[in-house]
Amino acid sequence: MTAPDQPDIDQESQNPPEHARVWMARGARAAVSIPAFILTAAFVGYAGLARETGLTLFETLAMTGFVWALPSIVVLTGAISSGMGILPAGIAVALASVRLMPMTMALMPLVKVPGKTKTWQLLIASHFVAVTAWVFAMKHLPDMPREGRLPFFIGFGAAVTSFVFCMTGVSYLLVESMPGMVAGALFLLTPVYFLCSLWGRQGSMPTGRPWSQDCCSDRSSSPICPGWICFGPALLAARLPTSEPGSCAGGCRDGGINGRWIGIRNLVATGDDHHRRLVCN
């Protein structure tokens, strides 16, 4: 895959700034999308929750901008509302955010141009790693030329973040007049969207390449995903149905164990690369 890209890289390095800017603009334009729309709606729903919890507009916006991962934001809001200290709250948020690390790890080799991309650029890009952007990136980036991926991702992330940021502020101010049912319905958008796009081989855009080609879409392990979605929470419900940090910790641990199992199954079932390509495409 890298060999045919080689002449392109040389050609691009003569004119990198404009090229990067073009890709960034493309990323920003791609942000006008169904995933971004759904995420915005979910944050509108969150604004309602924040207002109910008693957060100020400033606090709500700061969380949106700085944390930028809806599950972690919800955890932090819960921690603040229950009067948790700064340390337990930080631990709860950290536990809820552990999943960002493997997600970022999986993304980095995709966006990096070996020997050319600087670490600080990756650090900036990493702030936009959250489920929506990650799912979108894993689905669409592999179809793009390598040099365009990082600016595209940054453009996409920055555009989505700023739009969602503004919309969260606006809806915080308007949420008083919003019926409770609408806010509740907006909350359901996120999980159902995640669910469908995790599965999606093609999704809403006809690129045709499965982003999760080694996990859910792989026929040999496809029963594992629904199995996990049912099984993991059952464990949580049995153990700690109400404690937020507890359930996060449990979720992460169960995820790790089951993820490892999927990984081992992949190693065993599709150890030979050619076979995996066949199964997935």
Question: Which C-beta is closer to other proteins: that of 9 or that of 122?
Answer: 122
**3 sits near other proteins (criterion: CB under 8 A):** no
Stretch that binds other proteins, among 12-20, 21-29, 93-101, 162-170 (CB under 8 A): 93-101
Using CA atoms, how far apart are residues 234 and 276, in angstroms rounded to an integer? 31
Q: Which of residues 140-179 bind other proteins (CB under 8 A)?
A: none
**63 sits near other proteins (criterion: CB under 8 A):** yes
Shortest distance, position 15 Cβ to other proteins, whole Å: 25
Shortest distance, position 152 Cβ to other proteins, whole Å: 17
**169, 255, 279, 280: residue in contact with other proteins (rule CB under 8 A):** 255
Stretch that binds other proteins, among 12-20, 24-32, 161-169, 185-193 (CB under 8 A): 185-193
Stretch that binds other proteins, among 23-31, 149-157, 162-170, 193-201 (CB under 8 A): 193-201
**269 sits near other proteins (criterion: CB under 8 A):** no
Shortest distance, position 108 Cβ to other proteins, whole Å: 3
Encode the chain in three state secondary structure: CCHHHHHHHHHHHCCHHHHHHHHHHHHHHHCCCHHHHHHHHHHHHHHHHHHHHCCCHHHHHHHHHHCCCHHHHHHHHHHHHCCCCHHHHHHHHHHHHCCHHHHHHHHHHHHCCCCCCCHHHHHHHHCCCCHHHHHHHHHHHHHCCHHHHHHHHHHHHHHHHHHHHHHHHHHHHHHHHCCHHHHHHHHHHHHHHHHHHHHCCCCCCCCCCCCCCCCCCCCCCCCHHHHHHHHHHHHHHHHCCCCHHHHHHHHHHHHHHHHHHHHHHHHHHCCCHHHHHHHHC
Shortest distance, position 24 Cβ to other proteins, whole Å: 19
**237 sits near other proteins (criterion: CB under 8 A):** yes
Residues that bind other proteins (rule: CB under 8 A) add up to a total of 106
Q: Which of residues 106-145 bind other proteins (CB under 8 A)?
A: 106-110, 112, 119, 122-123, 126-127, 129, 131, 134-135
Q: Which of residues 7-36 bind other proteins (CB under 8 A)?
A: 34-35
Cβ proximity of 106 and 141 under 8 Å: no
**100 sits near other proteins (criterion: CB under 8 A):** yes
Question: Which C-beta is closer to other proteins: that of 14 or that of 86?
Answer: 86
Shortest distance, position 151 Cβ to other proteins, whole Å: 16
Using CA atoms, how far apart are residues 87 and 21, in angstroms rounded to an integer? 41
